[in-house]
Amino acid sequence: MEWGAVMAGSRQLVRPRNPRPTTTVVTCACALLVVACGTQSAFDASLEVTIVPQTPFDAAGADVVLPDVGTTGLPANFFPPPAPAFTAATRDPLSVQVSLSGEALAERGYDYTATPSIGDAVFVDGWEVRFTEYLVVVDHVRLNQPGADPSMRSVVGALVAQQDGPWIVDAHRPGALVGAAGPPESAVPLVVFRATAAGGAFDPTVRYAFSFDTVPATSPNLRNVNLASDQAGDVVEMIARRWTLLFAGTATYRGRTPSASVDPTFQNYPTTVRFRFGFGAPASYINCHNPEVGDVDSPATRGIQASASTHARAQITMHTDHFFWDETDVEGTPLHFDALAARAIGFGGDAGATPLVAMEQLVGDNPASLTDALGFPVLDRGSQTIGTMDNAPPPSYAVHSAAALIHDLRDFVAYNSRSQGHLNSDGLCFVRANGPIAY
């Protein structure tokens, strides 16, 4: 089996973004190492799809840390962004409209409640999360003929059309389009295909394989889609460090109050933490499943089909929950923030300062035995939500078959980011790493 291929016998659950009829299911990633089974609720069993593992970069399984090359000028005429490639009123027949969305979660954040509704995304250890920006760089949007062998997910047919950026998008900013999952999700117009590379019209009887890449920010070709001028410093840093994404915001603890008798270890934990995570994790998302054709991923439900009467939607969807998972290679695991709050600068210090956590603070923190900034174990105060079964304490951030690639919590977060790219809300893609992770 080639690296990056679908693992036989492995399954993952897609968390529905909108409420749907659900059933309690047991998910077990049979081909993975360690135990990856656990009972979870609020999932639709019809949405089970295959896991896509990632590719090691060298024999030792080590990711290369690229150096900071200093400051780099922004591309000419980077601000203000140009007019959008299309609008909500654009309805060209036989066209494919490509947009990008971070879902309502990137725009509005994660509310905390002890009694979430079916399908709600919630941090089980009691945190509320709000983003201030979510920058991602995408490129090489492609439409291909279907592959000759449907069982080979990574192999598509001849290239039909391609448009190149790279484009940088702030998925936190609301877009002008209604998102694929419906309100309150919105999407940002990116690019539109109106003809094949050969100049002909798309065939409305063919479902074309849809693929795209996330790439490092580069100058002078980087295209601004919706960034404001006060984000210039962030873009310069992304270019200098070869980052594919940067996201920042604030987490506020809203769960049960710790005391000497309840969660005593957490009495000194901060209740407000700023976070800012930037890194490069270039990847290709290939032959994506299209939920608008059918919920269950199969060769018959992948790709985009042009319409003779109107446009077809191809929304690149970036899932923010992947950064907060407690397992690798299993979609929709419980979300945690305690492990990040525990490493924040200012942890256990001046109560008047708001602690800050970035990727640097996660270095050396073993996912199998998490510690706080003072060296004490991070216990598990999860399961503060009805209907969610979390890990038994202490928490274990399971790396499964990615053990050779993940050396600490920083690697863990970066690794999981590579599975965040989807099509039309929840459609999974074949994922192939396209280079080393850059910090």
The dihedral over CA atoms of 99, 101, 104, 108, expressed in degrees to the nearest 10, equals: -120
- The rounded distance, in Å, linking the Cα atoms of 224 and 79 is 7
Mean pLDDT of the residues in the chain: 84
Q: Where are the beta strands (DSSP E) in 72-226?
A: 96-101, 127-144, 159-163, 167-170, 177-178, 186-193, 207-214, 223-224
The rounded distance, in Å, linking the Cα atoms of 366 and 362 is 9
Q: Which residue has the tokens 């996330």?
A: 214
Buried b (16+ CB within 10 A) or exposed e, 253-269: bebeebeeeebeebeeb
pLDDT at 6: 29
Confidence of residue 313 (pLDDT cuts 50, 70, 90): very high
Identity at 157, one-letter amino acid code? G
Lookup: tokens for 227: 């960034």
Average confidence (pLDDT) over 97-126:
94
Overall average pLDDT of the 352-375 stretch = 93
On the question of a cis peptide bond just before residue 394, with omega within 30 degrees of 0, the verdict is yes
Q: Which of 53, 135, 54 is nearest to 435 (CA)?
A: 54
The first and second tokens of residue 336, run together, are 């945690």
Sort 52 into a burial class: Cβ within 10 Å, 0-12 / 13-18 / 19+: buried
pLDDT tens digit string along 114-141?
Answer: 999 888 899 999 999 999 999 999 999 9
Range with the poorest average pLDDT among 15-19, 202-206, 319-323, 354-358: 15-19
| Residues listed for the chain | 439
Amino acid found at 398: A
pLDDT at residue 383, rounded to an integer: 77
For the ranges 73-77, 288-292, 317-321, 432-436, which has the lowest average pLDDT?
73-77
**Residue 331 has what pLDDT?**
83
Q: What's the whole-number mean pLDDT along residues 343-364?
A: 89
Q: How far apart are CA 184 and CA 205, in angstroms?
A: 32
Distance of CA 357 to the CA centre of its chain: 19
For residues 62 and 234, which has the higher predicted lDDT (pLDDT)?
234
> Does pLDDT of 183 surpass 80?
yes
Residue 260 has pLDDT above 90, yes or no: yes
**What is the average pLDDT across 94-115?**
97
Q: What is the three-class DSSP state of 265?
A: helix
How far, in Å, CA of 334 to CA of 126, rounded? 12
pLDDT, one tens digit per residue, over 21-79 is 222 222 222 222 222 222 222 222 222 223 333 333 333 334 455 554 444 579 989 99
| pLDDT band at 395; cut points 50, 70, 90 | low
260-264, 328-332, 387-391, range with the lowest pLDDT: 387-391
Residue 345, pLDDT above cutoff 60: yes
Supply the pTM of this predicted model: 0.85
